[in-house]
Structure 1
């Protein structure tokens, strides 16, 4: 599905959040690879589960055609610096919900990009009769957890010792959800 572009200025950084398009596939492939190497907030290490340009073209096609999917990008000076995705399901028992995921390049943290992705996604979900948004977040990502709670997400559960990080320790994954008010 598609949404209208939104422009933001935060701490003198100008950026746009817009729906993804097919021309973004190559940049998204490179961005995802870079993101996986910048943080341990994702399930993958850099290079694992690599999605090439053709793979992203298929995802973009699915996301723009499905009424239950939404993929957004953040653009600074014609450069994609982050993306978010809501992925739904055609199965009747879970067609009322979407899974939310987000990634922003580290150099663009603290400009509200993640928050604005989430706000746009919540607005889209509420307008499209999606009853629930769900997400997973590693327990060490305190800032994300605070943001999710501030925007109406609640902790629904904890997956204990779910993720092995580079320090050799296991960490919990927090399962969170937001039910449409």
Structure 2
């Protein structure tokens, strides 16, 4: 699915959020690797589950044609600095929900990019008969958990000792969901 481009301005940064385009594939491949190396909040370590330019091109093409998927990028000064994706499916029993994921380059944290990517995704879901958005978040990512709760997500479960980080310790993954209930 494709959405209309929106511009956001903070005191320090101007950026746009828009649907991913095939021309973004190379940048997305590079940005994803960088994000994975900047934080342990992601599911992967740097370079794991690598998606190359061609792979991202196929994802963008499929998502643009699917009413159940949304692939957004955040762009500042002509460069991709973050992205988010809602992935759904066509199975009758689960076609009402999508799974949300997000990543923003560390240099661009604190400008509301992740929040605005999520808000755009929520708006899209609510206007496209998507009843539920799910996501998972590492228990130590307290800032993200608070944001998700503020935007209507609730804790639905905890996957205990789900991730082992570089310190050798195991951490829980929190599963959250937001249900859109029409009045």
TM-score bucket (shorter structure): over 0.9
Q: Distance in 2 between matches of 1:11 and 1:152?
A: 27
Task: Give TM-score scaled by structure 1 length.
Answer: 0.99
Deviations 1:120-177 (A, max 9, x none): 0000000000000000000010000000000000000000000001111000000000
Q: Distance in 2 between matches of 1:98 and 1:130?
A: 7
Mind listing any 5+ residue stretches in structure 1 that lack a counterpart? none
Q: Distance in 2 between matches of 1:147 and 1:14?
A: 21
Aligned residue number for residue 49 of structure 1: 49
Aligned residue number for residue 135 of structure 1: 135
Aligned residue number for residue 19 of structure 1: 19
Q: Distance in 2 between matches of 1:124 and 1:43?
A: 25
Task: Give TM-score scaled by structure 2 length.
Answer: 0.98
Q: Distance in 2 between matches of 1:170 and 1:62?
A: 35
State the shift of 1:10 in Å: 1.4
State the shift of 1:90 in Å: 1.0
| CA RMSD between the two structures | 0.5
Aligned residue number for residue 117 of structure 2: 117
Q: Distance in 2 between matches of 1:83 and 1:119?
A: 13
Deviations 1:47-106 (A, max 9, x none): 110000000011001110000000000000000000000000111110000000000000
Q: Distance in 1 between matches of 2:14 and 2:120?
A: 17
Aligned residue number for residue 90 of structure 1: 90
Q: Distance in 2 between matches of 1:61 and 1:123?
A: 22
Q: Distance in 1 between matches of 2:43 and 2:84?
A: 15
Query: Structure 1 stretch 3-12 or stretch 20-29: which is displaced more?
Result: 3-12
For this pair of structures, how many residues does the alignment match?
181
Q: Distance in 2 between matches of 1:46 and 1:100?
A: 20
Mind listing any 5+ residue stretches in structure 2 that lack a counterpart? none
